Structure 1
Amino acid sequence: MKIQLLSSAMAAMVILGTGCVSNKKFAQLQTSYSDLQNQNRELDGKYQAAQRDLTGANTRVKSLEEQIASQRTGLAALQAALDKCLNSTSQGNVNISKLVDEINASNKYIQHLVNTKNKSDSLNMVLTNNLTRSLSREELRDVDVQVLKGVVYISLSDNMLYKSGSYEISPAAGETLSKIAKIIKDYRDYDVLIEGNTDNVPISQKNIRNNWDLSALRASSVVQSLQNEYGVDPKRLTAGGRGEYNPVASNDSDAGKTKNRRTQIIITPKLDQFMELIEKAPDTDSTSAVK
């Protein structure tokens, strides 16, 4: 199907090239079209990789929360067993010292997980507060900052970032992007996903096939601006487009469409931090001492 569409598109370009423009202009359009196809494929690949990484991070967060709940349950069981042993005539058959050691180990690990989660939450709040304090009242009308499930979301309206139907960064957006870039550079242990979103109105621009293209190109423009103009390490950056398929409001009204036309900067902890937490789990059997 995709090959048929490309063939139809090329046929249309041949007709336009022979009927409306010069051979040189037609060749330029062909080259531009091929470049955009290659960029779109590359952006789609990076976006899919980022989505997999983000899904993995969410899975690991859920795993940590389950471990905390499991450790608390085990701790309660150990405490109950210890109380039973202390009040039972058969307490001499139980290794109370081992029970105490296991309870202490469980307490220590639970506290470690709680402290780590609190530290992450605190860093996210500091990041959010630093960013919102740096933005002017006018900028805050076009910038929304939220922390959801341990991830910082910075949502930028397209009215502030781009010209209508374009993926080129507006000069007016430079000051706002510079403030966001400073925050990103200050928090070096975080990865950054730039995600473009549109409303459901079809795009009608040369060399932009649909809203998928537009959203991906807009995300790429922000990534390149952060890298080239504000010095953000490109290894931390990923660009992706979600087209019209991730709305936050109904597209049945102009207000809803305005909310859906946005670019999100998603700041997440690196995955190796979660792996390090999991590897620190104590290797003990919480029921081995209960007879």
Structure 2
Amino acid sequence: KQNIASEGENEDDIKIDIENTVVMISVSDKLLFNTASYRINSKASPLLEKLAEVINAEPSLQVMIEGHTDPRSISNAVVQDNWDLSVKRATSIVRELQLKYKVAPEKMIAAGRASYLPLVDNDTPENMAMNRRTRIVLIPDLDMFFSML
């Protein structure tokens, strides 16, 4: 966690899980975005830079960026609903990784889950905050993995 998290970040803002050969990094929305926005805030730069270093260091690695929201309705001139917000957040991260940190676009997948895969019930403001997140899934080249078996 210390390799990914920056000084001054709350440890609860970044959670790392490993299942089989897949690494999942869950990042709270407040670390990456302002409320109801898909524009990446400046606090995200150290995390994205470290993430890009990891991705770029392993040529066979694929990465999926998943946006997750809470169920509160959102609709404005640029965001139609939570589906839209979750996808726009994922594509914002993908674009930043590609354009600023030179991650190869063919290694990345952008996905939006809206509010349909919550970590916890959306029954309190604290729980809704936990569900507003971006999940970064690092996926090894499975062909290479199976060839080693």
The question of 1:135 aligning with 2:23 is answered: no
Cα deviation, residue 225, structure 1: 0.4
- The answer (yes or no) to whether the contact 2:3–2:50 under 8 Å persists in 1 is no
* Letter paired with 2:90: A
**Partner-residue secondary structure (3-state), 1:193:** strand
Whole-angstrom distance in 2 between the partners of 1:215 and 1:260? 12
- Greater percentage in helix: 1
Residue of structure 2 in register with 1:166 after alignment: 37
| Structural RMSD (CA) | 1.7
Cα deviation, residue 273, structure 1: 2.1
Percent identity for Structure 1 against Structure 2: 38
- Greater percentage in strand: 2
**Partner-residue secondary structure (3-state), 1:146:** strand
Aligned partner of 2:95 among 210, 220, 224: 224
Change (3 A) 1:240 1:134: closer
Cα deviation, residue 252, structure 1: 0.5
1:21-61 CA-partner distances (Å, limit 9, x unpaired): xxxxxxxxxxxxxxxxxxxxxxxxxxxxxxxxxxxxxxxxx
Cα deviation, residue 204, structure 1: 2.6
The question of 1:264 aligning with 2:135 is answered: yes
**Partner-residue secondary structure (3-state), 1:152:** strand
Residue of structure 2 in register with 1:6 after alignment: none
Structure of higher CA gyration radius: 1
User: Any unmatched runs of 5+ in structure 2?
Assistant: none
Give the structure, 1 or 2, with the largest relative contact order (CA under 8 Å, sep 6 or more): 2
Residue of structure 2 in register with 1:8 after alignment: none
Residue of structure 2 in register with 1:194 after alignment: 65
* Letter paired with 2:8: E
**Partner-residue secondary structure (3-state), 2:8:** helix
Whole-angstrom distance in 2 between the partners of 1:245 and 1:172? 27
The question of 1:247 aligning with 2:118 is answered: yes
Cα deviation, residue 275, structure 1: 5.0
The within-5 A match list for 1:202-213 is 202-213=73-84
1:218-263 CA-partner distances (Å, limit 9, x unpaired): 0000000000001111110010100000100110011110110000
1:87-146 CA-partner distances (Å, limit 9, x unpaired): xxxxxxxxxxxxxxxxxxxxxxxxxxxxxxxxxxxxxxxxxxxx6335335333421111
Give the TM-score taking structure 1 as reference length. Answer: 0.48
Whole-angstrom distance in 2 between the partners of 1:180 and 1:197? 19
Cα deviation, residue 149, structure 1: 2.8
Cα deviation, residue 174, structure 1: 1.0
1:59-94 CA-partner distances (Å, limit 9, x unpaired): xxxxxxxxxxxxxxxxxxxxxxxxxxxxxxxxxxxx
Aligned partner of 1:182 among 41, 50, 53: 53
**Partner-residue secondary structure (3-state), 2:70:** coil
- The answer (yes or no) to whether the contact 2:68–2:114 under 8 Å persists in 1 is yes
Q: Which runs of 4+ in 1 moved over 4 A?
A: none
Residue of structure 1 in register with 2:23 after alignment: 152
Whole-angstrom distance in 2 between the partners of 1:230 and 1:207? 26
